[in-house]
């Protein structure tokens, strides 16, 4: 049992307590109350003069799968032998001892969505994890949390240089449609078999895509350029699927289309340069424009592209670009939780939700601020620079 006492509490549920206490019991938020409360039997964290908020959520990264960006060892992001690999599961590649998980805690990040890279048109299933747990299986929040796909330059570069499909954007879109159509046919055959016809041979690739067609998970499509985003929207309409745009670099050019179609996005990495031609239009104003159009979005690091401990700073840069401060905080807490389908457990300090809590010594968007304490699932795992628990 833990009492985080006396801090300024940003609940991310519409309430700010200038001085309050978060009570934690049984791995859940027990109560959030005004004033300094130190119940008998509770471990007390003195948060006076500090800011308390829900654990941060990075909706798109590769922690545990790509251990460092400039190394071959520990890079399991892209199965570049086949452009369509929906049956691959990110959880099977996660190395829970990756130092990136400790980096995440040092930045107040308690939940991540990690997954395949973008070399393939369909890369595989993504997974949502806590950044600490007694074992990898106990870190898993939701698997799969989405099916990763990619349009634009990455699949072309991965395969076109070897004179393999896809060489063009047309081929990438064609492969994606083909996979969706094949899964639709597989679903139809299974439904007929349930009424007496023969069952088709089991197909793990089609089973994975079928989850998207049944709207059990979203198709999460890597897109930078506006035309690629529009292609993803067109395909989503054709197959009536739930779509999330990953990166959404030029989404500000077509914010109205995203809003009209109810498309959500995970934007970023915000800290970056024009490393690829399709990043020519990168802008810090993307968040502001999407918010103005009514588009729901989260903010990513794409770790290790941007180190995961800088998630809060990434959101702060969107504020520099004109995004409302409260909206930027939402993009790495409650809004992020909703996009990954875990809003009932994460993202706000509400009784009954998971006790994932972070204490900063200043505002999270101030580069001078440090993370002082991190609690994951009711366990104090980071205390003033010390990692208190380990796998």
Domains of the chain: 1-54+347-391 (2.30.40.10), 56-344 (3.20.20.140)
How far does Cα 14 stand from its chain's mean position? Answer: 22
Can you give the pLDDT at residue 71?
65
Show the tokens assigned to 358: 């972070």
Can you give the pLDDT at residue 390?
58
Cβ(157)–Cβ(113) below 8 Å:
no
Would you tell me how many other CB atoms lie within 10 Å of the CB of residue 81? 9
Can you give the pLDDT at residue 272?
84
Would you tell me how many other CB atoms lie within 10 Å of the CB of residue 388? 15
Residues 6+ apart with CB under 8 A from 322: 284, 285, 287, 288
- pLDDT tens for 230-280 read 999 999 999 999 999 999 999 999 999 999 999 999 999 999 888 888 999
Show the tokens assigned to 282: 């990168």
Show the tokens assigned to 142: 């939701």
Cβ(388)–Cβ(36) below 8 Å:
no
Q: Give the DSSP H/E element, type plus range, for residue 55.
A: none
- pLDDT tens for 69-123 read 666 677 899 999 999 999 999 999 999 999 999 999 999 999 999 999 999 999 9
Q: Which DSSP string do the residues of 162-179 spell out, in sequence order? A: TT-S-SSHHHHHHHHHHH
Would you tell me how many other CB atoms lie within 10 Å of the CB of residue 153? 19
Pair type for strands 379-383 and 16-25:
unpaired
Cβ(316)–Cβ(287) below 8 Å:
no
Can you give the pLDDT at residue 347?
98
- The residues with which 28 forms a beta bridge, in sequence order, are 25, 354
Pair type for strands 43-46 and 28-34:
unpaired
Pair type for strands 56-61 and 371-376:
unpaired
DSSP 8-state assignment for residue 84 = B
């Amino acid at each position: 049992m833990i009492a985080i006492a006396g801090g300024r509490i940003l609940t991310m549920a519409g309430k700010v307590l200038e001085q309050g206490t978060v009570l934690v019991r049984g791995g859940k938020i027990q109560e959030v109350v005004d004033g300094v409360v130190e119940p008998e039997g509770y471990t007390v964290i003195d948060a006076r003069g500090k800011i308390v908020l829900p654990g941060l959520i990075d909706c798109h990264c590769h922690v545990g799968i790509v251990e460092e960006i400039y190394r071959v060892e520990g890079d399991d992001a892209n199965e570049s032998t086949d452009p369509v690999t929906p049956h691959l599961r990110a959880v099977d590649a996660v190395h829970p001892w990756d130092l990136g998980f400790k980096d995440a805690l040092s930045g107040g990040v308690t939940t991540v969505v990690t997954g395949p890279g973008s070399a393939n048109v369909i890369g595989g299933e993504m997974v949502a994890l806590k950044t600490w747990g007694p074992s990898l299986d106990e870190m898993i929040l939701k698997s799969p949390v989405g099916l990763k796909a990619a349009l634009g330059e990455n699949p072309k570069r991965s395969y076109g240089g070897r004179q393999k499909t896809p060489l063009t954007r047309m081929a990438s879109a064609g492969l994606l449609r083909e996979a969706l159509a094949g899964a639709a046919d597989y679903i139809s055959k299974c439904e007929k078999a349930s009424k007496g016809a023969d069952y088709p041979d089991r197909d793990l690739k089609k089973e994975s895509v079928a989850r998207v067609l049944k709207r059990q998970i979203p198709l999460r499509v890597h897109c930078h350029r506006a035309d690629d985003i529009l292609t993803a929207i067109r395909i989503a309409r054709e197959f009536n699927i739930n779509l999330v745009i990953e990166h959404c670099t030029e989404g500000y050019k077509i914010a109205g289309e995203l809003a009209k179609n109810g498309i959500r996005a995970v934007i970023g990495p915000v800290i970056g340069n024009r490393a690829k031609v399709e990043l020519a239009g990168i802008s810090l104003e993307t968040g502001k424009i999407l918010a103005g159009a009514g588009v729901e979005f989260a903010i990513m690091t794409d770790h290790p592209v941007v180190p995961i401990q800088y998630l809060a700073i990434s959101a702060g840069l969107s504020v520099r670009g004109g995004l409302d401060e409260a909206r930027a905080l939402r993009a790495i807490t409650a809004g992020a939780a909703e996009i990954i389908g875990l809003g009932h457990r994460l993202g706000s300090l509400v009784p009954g939700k998971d006790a994932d809590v972070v204490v900063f010594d200043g505002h999270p968007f101030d580069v001078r601020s440090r993370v002082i304490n991190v609690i994951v699932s009711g366990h104090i795992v980071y205390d003033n620079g010390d990692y208190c628990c380990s796998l």
